[in-house]
Amino acid sequence: MKKFGFATIAASALTAGFLGLAAPALAAPTGAGNAQDTIASLQDQGYKVIVNRLSQTPLADASVVSVGQGPTFSTTNTNAGNEGGYGAQADRAFAPQNTKTVYVNVR
């Protein structure tokens, strides 16, 4: 009985871990608009956008072919203590800052 309970817990944990690692869909704008609007929208959402140009068309006239998720980078601002002082955010001065990356292919 204990083996069955352990197997059930292990299987549940593995399934939850697998689903947790699945990449969420990116909220890229759809419909009318150009590549420049899509890039601006993703940047407004906090993404670091890397553009892969598949043609020489200006971004204002180009269309988005695809949007893919890239890596997330975590950095720490080691100068935050000098910038933040002793205010309300002082205890979070060295908290890591995450930057999400997306790749936008335009043509």
Phi (first) and psi of residue 16, to 5 degrees: -65, -40
Would you call 107 helix, strand, or coil by DSSP? coil
For residue 7, the model assigns a pLDDT of 54
The mean pLDDT of 61-81, rounded to a whole number, is 87
The mean pLDDT of 67-90, rounded to a whole number, is 74
For residue 19, the model assigns a pLDDT of 41
Distance CA 24, CA 47 (A): 14
The mean pLDDT of 24-47, rounded to a whole number, is 79
Q: Which residues contact 49 (CB under 8 A, 6 or more apart)?
A: 39, 42, 43, 101, 102, 104
Q: Which pLDDT tens digit goes with each residue over 47-65?
A: 999 999 999 999 999 999 9
Q: How confident is residue 75, by pLDDT bands cut at 50, 70 and 90?
A: confident
